[in-house]
Each structure stands twice: as C-alpha cells, then as structure tokens.
Amino acid sequence: MNSTLLPDTYAPEDLCFATIAASLTEKGYCILPDALPSQLAFELAAHAQNLSDEQYFNAGIGRANQHMTNRFVRGDEVCWIEGQSEIGRQWLEWTERLRVYLNRHLFLGLFSFESHFAHYPPGTFYKTHLDAFKGQSNRILSVVTYLNHQWMPDEGGEMVIYVGDDNVKVTPALGTLAIFLSEEFPHEVLPTHRDRYSIAGWFRLNTSIGDQIDPPQ
C-alpha cells in the first residue's frame, strides 16, 4: 500500500483519515481514540442504547446457508444499519468519505461498506476469530467504533487484536475507532461486565459475477 502526504493545512477529518492511512500502511491496523466527531459519537451511542429489544437479534457465525447462532462463540446481539435513521445516514456518510480517502491514498479498491450496531449484555463475549479468510471473502478492512461513556478498567469488554506473538487491547471507550485488515488479524472480545455498545463494519471488494450480486442484497 502507498500513502500520499497531505498539505500542511487540512481539516480535522482529513487528519483523522491520514492517521488511519499511515497506520494501515505501517502496521496493517489502527487504534485511534476520539476518531469520530464528538456529536456523531454521542448521537450514535444514544441511538444504539435506545433501540428496542425487537430491533436487535442474536448474532451468528458463518454466512448465507452456513449461518448459525452459537452462544458459546459469541453472545452479542446486532441491528444492521441501513440508513433509515438520520444518525444512521450520518454514520454511513462518514464511512463513505473514509472509503473514498483510503481508495485515493492506498489504492485498496474498496467498493462498499456494511455495518451493524452491536450490544454485548453483561457476561457475553466473542471468542477469537478472523473476519475473513483468504480467498473466501471480500471483506478487506474491519472497522469497530465504540459507543460507551466513561468505560472503567474493571468493566472488561476489551477487544484483543493478536499481532504476531503480541496482542493489542482496545478499551471500548466512546469515539474510539479500531480498523484493521480483515484477513490478517485474529481478534476477540473479552467478557464484559456492563452493557457494551459498538458498531462493527466491513469495507468490501466487489465480486459480483453475472446475475449474482455480492454483497448479497
């Protein structure tokens, strides 16, 4: 991946995007506190916490006809973001600007983005996994944004990204962004001791063939 230097003066959003691009180039992942504009982060957090039980559903593992629910692997519940709400549209607009920036500066060929709110009730977790397997998925970049006010060290719920023989722990604090190459980094969510909210998303390539649309609509 190649990066392009920005001019000496640029908007805070461009600084955020430039930091992400530089870190992806150097390490393949980026952990960035306060990445989201504060108002966007606050409103996303409020929206996630105010969704009804009926709007969330138990998350599963696998895709299409291999999809299944396994509470021994993951215990979160999710609500897909389709842009029906105003704050959902604002989030998708922000990620679209990030997609354009990364394509322009890193030439990744990112085609689309999908994401969902995730709620981890107390005691739940997500065991170590990859978001994509080489040759089997078009997920390129994983994006996790945290929506939790005043998260304390004893409340658990950290995401652990395994980087070779080391690991990086990410505290799920409001506005923190974690972005990493989907095929490269196993990761897990440690058991949480309070309600934990986030957005999980993926930038994807376009692998549509003939009349089969990918990602599925």
In a domain, 180, yes or no: yes
The answer to whether the beta carbons of residues 176 and 33 sit under 8 Å apart is yes
| Residues 136, 24: Cα–Cα separation, whole Å | 22
Q: For residue 132, what pLDDT is reported?
A: 86
Confidence bin at 137 (pLDDT 50/70/90): low
Q: What is the DSSP string of 88-110?
A: HHHHHHHHHHHHHHHHHHH----
- Kindly tell me if the per-residue pLDDT of 6 is higher than 60: no
In a domain, 152, yes or no: yes
Task: Write the pLDDT tens digit of every residue in 143-169.
Answer: 999 999 999 999 999 999 999 999 999
Domain count within the chain: 1
In a domain, 16, yes or no: yes
Long-range contacts of 31-34 (CB under 8 A, 24+ apart): 31/168, 31/170, 31/176, 31/177, 31/178, 32/176, 32/177, 32/178, 32/179, 33/173, 33/175, 33/176, 34/175, 34/176
Q: For residue 212, what pLDDT is reported?
A: 42
Q: For residue 70, what pLDDT is reported?
A: 52
In a domain, 215, yes or no: no
Task: Write the pLDDT tens digit of every residue in 78-118.
Answer: 999 998 899 999 999 999 999 999 999 999 999 999 999 99
| Residues 211, 141: Cα–Cα separation, whole Å | 25
Domain CATH code at residue 190: 2.60.120.620
What integer is the mean pLDDT of 195-203? 98
Beta bridge partner(s), residue 114: 202
In a domain, 97, yes or no: yes
Q: For residue 102, what pLDDT is reported?
A: 97
Q: For residue 46, what pLDDT is reported?
A: 98
Q: Which of 26-30, 32-36, 130-134 has the lowest mean pLDDT?
A: 130-134
In a domain, 46, yes or no: yes
- Quote the domain boundaries for residue 33: 12-61+68-204
Place of tokens 């190459």: 181
In a domain, 195, yes or no: yes
In a domain, 44, yes or no: yes
* pTM exceeds cut of 0.75: yes
